Amino acid sequence: MGMSPVYGVPEDAESIATIHRALELGIDFIDTADAYGDGQNEVIVGNAIRGLREKVVLASKFGITRSDDGTLAVNGRPEYVSKACDASLQRLGVETIDLYYLHRVDPVIPIEDTVGAMARLVQTGKVRYIGLSEAGAQTVRRAHAVHPIAALQTEYSLWSRDPETELLSLCAELDVGFVAYSPLGRGFLTGTISQTDHLTDGDRRRAMPRFADGNFEANNQLVSVLRQAAQSEGCTPAQLALAWLMSRPGSIVPIPGTKRLKWLEENAAAVAVAPSSAILERLDEVFRLNAAAGTRHPAAQMARLGI
């Protein structure tokens, strides 16, 4: 998502070079969505993997739509599923999407109807596996009864530990993989954002509660503990935050988004970080459930989560 104009202005050439370097480093899971840049993100990814398709596990998402006036909505209507998939396949320049998610659950359309249409994409060979993003536990169960859900994608990090209350155990029970998005707290857990003035005017984080005045300062106190712990472990805060996530039980795959080569290489090196049990316990204690100040999305977006 960061390769679209969301967190500052990206550069397509740098983005493509970053994807190529990821593949060189052995990172083969690429995640995009039709909502990122109104489809332009899929175009960038498609350009980057042209001629390299066999090296990539490609994921995309559908279901968030934008009207002409910029208003966002959710569409899980069965007739829309195939239409959205065909458009993504064309932008990506591929014949099959490996993992296709419903980006947000439509509160009006029964999940059985949406997943039934997604299952037909598997039957026709347009999609290999299907997933859900930010779905509640009962929705996952109902969806899984229609067609196996391969993965659930939900925000999970040191400062967003909500999945631990129910979703992680459910995924283990149903043998559903868990994909953790924003594992670095939209950059906050890197320890490199010392004040919101460093964010450009178009940066979406300016509208997020955890980056708001008051919450920002309180959350920075949490990150100061992460900085100290990373120093003691001889790594960066970002690497320690990722190592903590990879130390959690279950089938968890973090997807740290970046549009820069230097951050990609730093993130990739996190697989070599093995934090001590004392450090992991300290992080668990400080970054307990609901320790972060502010919700992870603005109110309107929070209403669309966990349905």
CATH number assigned to the domain comprising residue 76: 3.20.20.100
Could you tell me the two tokens for 158? 């040191």
Rounded to whole angstroms, the Cα distance separating 15 from 273 reads: 26
| 100 annotated active-site | no
Between 154 and 194, name the one with better pLDDT: 154
Among the listed residues 7, 36, 101, 156, the single catalytic one is 36
> Mean per-residue pLDDT for 177-186?
96
Two tokens, residue 195: 């004040």
Cα separation of 6 and 204, whole Å?
Answer: 6
Mean pLDDT estimate for the chain = 93
The string over 174-189, giving b where at least 16 C-beta atoms fall within 10 Å of a residue's C-beta and e elsewhere, is: eebbbbbbbbbbbbbb
Question: Is 266 domain-assigned?
Answer: yes
Rounded distance between C-alpha atoms, residue 44 and residue 34, angstroms: 11
Distance CA 293, CA 214 (A): 8
pLDDT in tens, 54-89: 999 999 999 999 888 878 899 999 999 999 999 999
166 domain residue, yes or no: yes
Q: Identify the pLDDT of residue 60.
A: 98
Q: Tokens 């070079």 map to which residue?
A: 17
pLDDT number for residue 259: 84
307 inside domain? no
Name the pairing type of β-strands 72-74 and 64-66.
Answer: antiparallel
Residue 190 is assigned to a structural domain of this protein: yes
CA distance 190 to 185: 8
**pLDDT value at 7 more than 70:** no
CB-CB contact of 99 with 269 (8 Å): no
Q: Which conformational region is residue 240 in: left (phi greater than 0), alpha (psi within -120 to 50 degrees), or beta?
A: alpha
Q: For residue 258, count CB atoms less than 10 angstroms from its CB and return exposed for 0-12, middle for 13-18, buried for 19 or more.
A: buried
**Which whole number is the average pLDDT over 129-137?**
98
pLDDT for position 44: 95
Is residue 152 in a domain? yes
Within-domain flag for 7: no
Average pLDDT value for residue range 42-46: 96
The yes-or-no verdict on residue 196 having pLDDT over 80 is no
Q: Is the pLDDT of residue 5 over 80?
A: no
Tally of CA atoms within 13 A in the half-sphere of 144 that contains its CB = 18
pLDDT recorded at residue 83? 98
Any domain includes 64: yes
Between 161 and 69, residue with greater pLDDT:
161
The domain containing residue 166 runs over which residues? 12-302
The encoded tokens of residue 163 equal 């999945």
Q: How many domains does the chain have?
A: 1
The full DSSP string for 54-79 is GG-EEEEEE-EEE-TT--EEE---HH
CA distances from 79 to 98, 108, 113, 189, 259 (A): 21, 14, 10, 40, 34
Average pLDDT over every residue of 240-258: 94
Whole-angstrom Cα distance, residue 104 to residue 100?
12
pLDDT band at 39, cuts 50/70/90? very high
CA contacts within 13 A on the Cβ side of 174:
26
Which residue from 169, 160, 186, 176 is spatially nearest to 255, judged by alpha carbons? Answer: 186
Between 118 and 197, the higher pLDDT residue: 118
Which pLDDT value is given to residue 4? Answer: 82
Kindly state whether residue 84 falls inside one of the protein's structural domains.
Answer: yes
pLDDT at res. 212: 87
